[in-house]
Structure 1
Amino acid sequence: MNAPSRILIYGVHGSGKSTLAELLALRLGVPWYPVDDLLWEPGWVEVPVAVQRSRMEAICRRERWILDGAYHGWRDVPLGRADLVIGLDYPRGISFRRLARRTMRRLSTGEQICNGNRETLGSVLSGDSILVWHLTQYGRERRRMRAWHADPSGPPVLLFDTPAALDRWLAGLPR
């Protein structure tokens, strides 16, 4: 397989999408466009969906890109151009532990995430918490990845059910 140049990485929060995107960008020399930076303004103000879509269309018209997610209102854009979708289809325990560990680290360090935004104790304890989102949306995200994988009319989808399986695939990529 030739090295892909238009890659969509998909999975539930905490599965490692951004970590994988950064690694692939370095390994393959393909630009990575962090989706959260394109969707959130300072103060956790969500960019209007029409603007999100326009930004994604501009990126996906390029010949080389990596996106670390795809959301409502524009998911079809990268799917229509990707030459590879990587689905991180890990068991709930793996992704939730990763997400909880990352969230606790961000709370304790005050780490900036996108456009100067930070997770706060209030955001973690709210009904819109990323932890709550994981618990309520996990099944839907897995079903979506699996449907893409089963659909021969879409781009090729590699599903990885463990981090070890992903590591084996990564070991076979050009350096």
Structure 2
Amino acid sequence: MTPAEPLPSRILIYGVYGSGKTTLAARLSRLLGIAWRPVDDLTWEPGWREVPMRVQRERIAELCRRKSWILDGAYRDWLDIPMASADLIVGLDFGRWLTLRRLLRRTARLVSTGETICNGNRETLSSVLSSESIILWHLGSFGRKRRRMRQWAAASPGPRVLLFSTPEELDAWVAGLPVSSPEAGPRRR
């Protein structure tokens, strides 16, 4: 962001699984003082029960009516909602091997520690080896999400799009953002 540009207050972070969307959302929330709402909290109930799509759309619409927000992702079935009100899309267009390596490392950690992810859910070895594995989701959606981000960056019909192809580019951009307050911590609402 340049000094002449207003700071965004409604930010959609978009990328493939393992690109670092949630990590960036927490970081931006802390720096900019904007509330971040993890998408997984809105779309999964305990026991890995998916929230019905109608309810997901209602939840996302309610959040996107607010003055400011950060979302760490968007599902195809309700992508239109944040796209209509976002000020900025941050596209994490990192390579397949980097994102897959990150995803494998994170998944292995979550399986081994039993750490909760959202609404009390946990990754298990059986979930990783199932047909609904996040690793399979990564492999199946990588090309589609990458094409979508690149199309937005080339000719966004709506919000401004910043596309980062390396973590170093992203870190340089974040380092140039003004800090809201030094004691601000991650804000999840």
What TM-score results when the alignment is normalised by the length of structure 1? 0.98
- Asked which structure has the greater RCO (Cα within 8 Å, sep 6+), the reply is 2
Matching residue of 2:106: 102
Q: Secondary structure at 2:62's aligned position in 1?
A: helix
Measured after TM superposition, the shift of residue 153 of structure 1 is 2.1
Q: Which runs of 5+ in 2 are unaligned?
A: 180-189
2:52: which partner in 1? Answer: 48
Aligned match for 1:121, one of 112, 120, 125: 125
**1:130 matches 2:134:** yes
RMSD: 0.7
Greater displacement, 130-139 / 13-22: 130-139
* Aligned AA (1:145): M
Q: Please, which of 170, 177, 180 is the counterpart of residue 166 of structure 1? A: 170
CA deviation digits over 1:100-131, x for unaligned, max 9? 00000001100000000000100101111111
Q: 1:156 is aligned with what amino acid?
A: R
Report how many residues are paired. 175
Partner of 1:155: 159
Secondary structure of 1:114's partner?
Answer: coil
SS in 2 for 1:86: strand
Partner of 1:93: 97
Q: CA deviation at 1:152?
A: 3.7
Q: Return the match for 2:18 from 10, 14, 17.
A: 14
> CA separation in 1, counterparts of 2:39 and 2:128?
20
Q: What is aligned with 2:149? A: 145
Shift of 1:92: 0.5
State the AA in 2 paired with 1:16: G
2: CA distance, partners of 1:96 / 1:3: 32
Aligned-partner Cα distance in 2 for 1:72–1:170 = 27
Percent of aligned positions that are identical: 63
